[in-house]
Each structure stands twice: as C-alpha cells, then as structure tokens.
C-alpha cells in the first residue's frame, strides 16, 4: 500500500474497487465506516452489493470481467472533461500523450456494453473523485484475480496520478493484502526474481553482495519459476522435487485436478506444516513445525508495517520451529547454517537490505512497529510513500500507462451459462486448516459452504434457498448449498474458497495474468443443477466430510 490503514478514515473520498473489506478485512472495514462518519464520500465499484456498496454515496455495479474498460472510462472522463491536475501531470508524470490516446477510445458511453455501468454514473464518480481534496483508492482481489490484473492496477494508479493523489497522508492506492504475512513473504525475497529487500537476482552486484554474506561462490542469476506454472512444469518434465512450506496448493490453487496430477507425478514432495492437509496426502515426507502462538518473529502488515509476534505457549509433540528445520536441511546438504534465535536472522537480513536497515527489533518493540522504508537507525519508518512525488523509477516520474481491455478467457455458453467468481468467508481463512479447527468459528459456517445466487437465477434454475445443489465447470463438479441473495448480480454466482467438500477450485481454471501469473479465480463458466432428493444429498455430504476427515487423520495415528 502506498499509504497506511489508519489514514483511510481521514480521507475525503474512498474509491473502493473490487474490494469487499467487510468479509476479507473486518478491521479495515471499520476504517471505511469511520471515514463515512467523518464525512468522507464513498464510491464503490463491485458487481455485488457489498457492505461498502451499501453505505456508498455512489455504487457502480460493474459487469464481471470489465475492470480495464471501466478504469479506462474513468481516465477518459478525467481527461476529456478536463478534471485532471495539469500542474501535477506536467511536473511528476510522463507518458500522458500515449495514455490519452488509448483512453480516448473508452468514453463511458462507448464501453457501456462492456462495463454495464450507466455512463452518467461514471462521469459523476470521476467528478467527485477529482474534486475531493484527498482521495484514496482501495482495491482487492476483485482487481488482481483476473487474467488482466496488473494492467488494471497500473490503470488505477494512473487515476491517482492524474488527480495528484500521491505523496501525502490519506491518498494513493491501497491493495489491502490478503494473508497476514503475504507482504512479509514478498519483503524477504520469497519471490523468483528478487532477493530480500526487492533486490534483483539479475543484478550482478546484488548477487555478489548476497554470495559474500552467505559464504558461497556464486548465486543463480536466472529468474525462477512461479508457483502457478507448476502443473505445466511437471508435465514438461522440468520440475522433479517440490518443497511445500506452510501452504496447501491442493486446496487453494486453481484447477485442483491439474494440481493433484502434478503432485502425483513429482519424484519428491516434502511438506512442512502444522496440520495434515490435502497437499500432505501426496507427500513423501512430512516435517511437523511449530504454529503461530508457539514461536516468535516479525510479520509485515499490508501497509508495510513490521510487527513483533510472540510465543505464548509451549508446543506439544516432536515439532521444531521452521527456521531450525531449514538449518538442519542445509547442514545435511553440506552447507553450515546455525541460528540461535529470530533476532540473529533478522539482523543478518537487515544488514543486507538498505530499505530495512533501521528497523531493529528494539525499534519495532519500542514503537509497536516500523513501516519500511526505514534506511537508518534514527529513521522512524515511513507511513506513506512517494513524499515529494518522487516515484520508484529511474527518473523519479510516475508513469501513466493505459492498456486495452481484454475479456476474461472462458466465456459462458449454452452448456455453462453462468459465471463463477470465488470470494471470501468472513469467519474462516484461506485453506481453513487453522480456522476450521476452531470450534467457535465452525459454528459460523461449515461444509460445504454457500453458493450466493441472485433470486432471478435461482427461480430460473429451480434452486431453493438452503438446498444442496451440484455446480460444475469443464474441469470438475462439487456439491454446495444455495444462498439466495440479491446482493449477487444475475448471471454470476459466488463461492467462498474455504471449503474442502464444496471446493470451488475444482471448477476454476488456470488462466493467469501474463505478469503477476495470478489465476483468473474471479471468472469461469459453470452450470448448476438442483438435487431432487435433498435427504440423500445431505447424507452424501456427511459421508464425504467423514471420509475426508478420516483420510487426514489416518496418517497421524
């Protein structure tokens, strides 16, 4: 995020784009409510009538898969109605002419057949956005989980550049990241193209610095593979061993049948985790680790905040902390590695990363956290980026970059007439191994999860509220339960991705954004079928649930 979570409530306008905070980040949602209480205007772009949409001044009910067309229409209005900040664009950006040329073809009227949004709503939204003294764009997976995602992020940052909404509190763009430490995992170089601190693996000087610190002659200079490519890499014979650390791709990745085939084909699968999960069923060796609550370290919040999490209880069983397991592996492979505690590891990393150097454990503890960049020991950290409107580009200028809209890959047809979009569950998290084992949270929601469906579609396909039904795509079929709600738009159905029986990723497809390689979880074609014998269906559900629980518990006993 360019800016911080607490700044949300002091913005004068929130432009919420494909982000359902009420379900994915309830505590961030509180800031949106408080901003409204303090008088901010709210504009929401979402095909569903989310809680943010409900309390908005303006709701743009976009057609699923039309993000780029709508963002370009927004830019078109800002430029053609002369609402943009000429002085800011002149001083701090580049690329305006070609940007203008591309978006000129996207007037709200010209793309209404794609976006489904009435042109006057788009114009009104941009007049409000441009007039606001401070405007903050919040976006979520409704932007990033499409085959065209990075282009849309660049498009949203273009709207902030056009209106000069950077470089001060309560403005900018905020991708509110999903998992508690997804920001941190990026920060410390768990990416195929960068070392910790976003230092490129293709930079010889960077490689030399890390090689020296780590005591090796050289380090690999080729950018590595991305996770979403694994099924193809295995099929092509390029990948033979997979070390899975604290993830469950056999539940969370797209097109699960393809993932299972890859896991079966691999010569070696190592799983290091806290619970048995679907991926572990394919492993050759399973290494049991300590969980949150049983060890300490630093997490990075979505707004770049390093914070110290601590050990509260002793672990039970013959388990080890993750970094100790990695040290054992390194030593067994002939590389001496030894750490006594997390602070030693953190200090080794700080020394190698200029943007984190000043974020010591002592400072994180005394301040309650440190937001990077924090380059020196006397630096307090950075709540918002781009102060003085200097951007992370060689010449310091923000790039205005427009792309043509591309439709989602798998279109609906006579056989698969509905769009499936996968969304979030408020009371459960990710692959659900943690929240699924919390009895209180189980009472909020349980298998097989719900299919959110508009009342018109429910009537059309003979689906009753709370009834079990089959949903299928070209890749698979699962059982789920209907929740008839007009928060969902007609023509699209929604499933949360936490369920192991009603696993929506049996249906999704592995079509990825060309740059981020994130799959198009928000769009595939499906059909639904009512089940006449509901009693038998309920029994089937219970049987499947019992069988799965048995398969997961059997290896441990």
Partner 1 sequence: MEKKVETICPYCGAGCHLNLVTRNGKIVRAEGAPGRTNEGQLCLKGLYGWEFLNDTKVLSPRLKKPLIRYSRSEPFHETSWEEAIRFASTRLMEIKKKYGPDAIMATGSARGPGNEANYVMQKLVRAVFGTNNIDHCARI
Between residue 479 and residue 498, which ones bind partner 1 under the rule CB under 8 A? none
Residue 169 as a binder of partner 1 (CB under 8 A): the answer is no
**Quick check: 190 binds partner 1 (CB under 8 A)?**
yes
Residue 519 near partner 1 by CB under 8 A: yes
Rounded to a whole number of angstroms, the distance between the first and last alpha carbons of the chain is: 45
Closest to partner 1 by CB, 73 or 259: 259
Binding region for partner 1 (CB under 8 A) out of 103-111, 122-130, 248-256, 465-473: 248-256
Instruction: Tell me the closest approach of the beta carbon of residue 303 to partner 1, in angstroms.
Output: 7
Q: Which residues of 66-87 are buried (b: 16+ CB within 10 A; e: fewer)?
A: bbbbbbbbbbbbbbbeebbbee
Any idea what DSSP says for residue 438?
Answer: -
Instruction: Please count the other Cβ atoms lying within 10 Å of the Cβ belonging to residue 527.
Output: 19
Q: Is 253 in the site for partner 1 (CB under 8 A)?
A: yes
Q: How many Cα atoms within 13 Å fall on the side-chain side of residue 444?
A: 15
Minimum CB separation of residue 298 from partner 1 in Å reads 5
Of 83, 206, 434, 467, the residue at the interface with partner 1 (CB under 8 A) is 434
Q: Specify the DSSP element, H or E, that contains 419.
A: strand 418-423
| Nearer of residues 335 and 404 to partner 1, judged by Cβ | 335
Separation of alpha carbons 476 and 466, rounded Å: 22
Residues in a beta bridge with 419: 492, 525
Which of the stretches 389-397, 426-434, 455-463, 485-493 binds partner 1 when contact is defined by CB under 8 A?
A: 426-434
Q: Which is nearer to partner 1, 529 or 554 (CB)?
A: 554
> Which residues are paired to 51 by β-bridges?
none
* Chain center to CA of 88: 31
187 lies in the binding site for partner 1 (CB under 8 A): yes
Inter-residue contact 44 to 22 (CB < 8 Å): no
**Restricting to residues 353-412, which ones interact with partner 1 according to CB under 8 A?**
368-369
What does each C-alpha distance from 542 to 233, 281, 440, 462, 537 come to in angstroms?
36, 21, 20, 24, 9
Residues 520-549 that bind partner 1 (CB under 8 A): 549
Site string for partner 1, 282-301 (x = CB under 8 A): -xxxxxxx-xxxxxxxxxxx
* Site for partner 1 contains 58 (CB under 8 A): no
Number of Cβ atoms within 10 Å of the Cβ of 334: 6
In which element (H, E) is residue 43 found?
strand 41-45
Residues 65-104 that bind partner 1 (CB under 8 A): none
Q: Is 200 in the site for partner 1 (CB under 8 A)?
A: no
Q: Which DSSP letter does residue 274 get?
A: S
223: Cα separation from own chain's centroid? 22
Tell me the closest approach of the beta carbon of residue 118 to partner 1, in angstroms: 33
- For residue 192, the minimal CB distance to partner 1 (Å) is 5
Contacts with partner 1 by CB under 8 A: the residue count is: 157
Binding mask 117-136 for partner 1 (x = CB under 8 A): --------------------
């Amino acid at each position: 995020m360019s800016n911080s979570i607490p700044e949300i409530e002091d913005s004068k306008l929130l432009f919420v784009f494909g982000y359902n905070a009420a379900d994915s980040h309830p505590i961030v949602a509180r800031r949106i409510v408080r901003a409204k209480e303090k008088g901010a205007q709210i504009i929401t772009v979402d095909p569903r009538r989310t809680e943010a949409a409900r309390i908005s001044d303006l709701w743009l009910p976009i057609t699923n898969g039309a993000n780029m067309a709508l963002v370009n229409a927004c830019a078109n209005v800002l430029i053609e109605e002369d609402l943009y900040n000429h002085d800011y664009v002149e001083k701090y950006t580049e690329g305006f002419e070609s940007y203008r040329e591309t978006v000129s073809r996207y007037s709200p009227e010209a793309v209404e057949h794609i976006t489904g949004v009435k042109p006057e709503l788009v114009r009104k939204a941009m007049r409000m956005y441009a007039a606001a003294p401070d405007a903050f764009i919040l976006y979520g997976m409704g932007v990033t989980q499409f085959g065209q995602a990075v282009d849309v992020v660049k498009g949203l940052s273009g709207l902030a550049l056009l209106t000069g909404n950077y470089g001060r509190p309560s403005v900018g763009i905020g991708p509110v990241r999903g998992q508690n430490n997804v920001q941190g995992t990026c920060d410390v170089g768990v990416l195929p193209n960068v070392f910790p601190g976003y230092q490129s693996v293709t930079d010889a000087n960077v490689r030399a610095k890390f090689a020296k610190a780590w005591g090796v002659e050289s380090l690999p200079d080729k950018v590595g593979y991305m996770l979403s490519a694994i099924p193809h890499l295995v099929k092509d014979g390029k990948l033979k061993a997979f070390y899975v650390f604290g993830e469950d791709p056999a539940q969370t990745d797209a097109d699960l049948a393809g993932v299972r085939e890859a896991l079966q084909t691999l010569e070696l699968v190592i799983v290091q985790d806290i619970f048995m999960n679907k991926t572990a069923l394919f492993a050759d060796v399973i290494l049991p680790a300590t969980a949150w609550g049983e060890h300490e370290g630093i997490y990075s919040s979505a707004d770049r905040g390093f914070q110290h999490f601590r050990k509260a209880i002793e672990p039970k069983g013959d388990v080890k902390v993750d970094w100790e397991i990695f040290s054992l592996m390194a030593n067994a492979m002939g590389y001496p590695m030894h750490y006594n505690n997390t602070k030693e590891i953190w200090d080794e990393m700080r020394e190698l990363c200029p943007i984190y150097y000043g974020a010591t454990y002592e400072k994180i503890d005394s301040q309650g956290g440190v937001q990077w960049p924090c380059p020196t020991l006397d630096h307090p950290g950075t709540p918002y980026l781009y102060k003085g409107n200097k951007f992370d580009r060689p010449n310091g200028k923000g790039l205005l970059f427009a792309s043509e809209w591309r439709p989602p890959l798998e279109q609906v047809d006579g056989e698969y007439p509905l769009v499936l979009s996968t969304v979030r569950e408020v009371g459960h998290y990710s692959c659900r191994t943690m929240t699924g084992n919390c009895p209180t949270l189980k009472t909020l929601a349980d298998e097989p999860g719900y299919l959110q469906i508009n009342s018109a579609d429910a009537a059309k396909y003979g689906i009753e509220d709370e009834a079990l039904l089959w949903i299928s795509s070209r890749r698979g079929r699962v059982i789920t339960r209907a929740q008839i709600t007009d928060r969902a738009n007609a023509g699209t159905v929604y499933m949360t991705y936490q369920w192991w029986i009603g696993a929506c990723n049996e249906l999704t497809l592995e079509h990825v954004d060309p740059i981020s390689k994130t799959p198009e979880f928000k769009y595939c074609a499906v059909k639904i079928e009512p089940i006449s014998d509901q009693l038998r269906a309920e029994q089937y559900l219970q049987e499947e649930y019992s069988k799965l629980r048995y398969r997961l518990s059997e290896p441990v006993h």
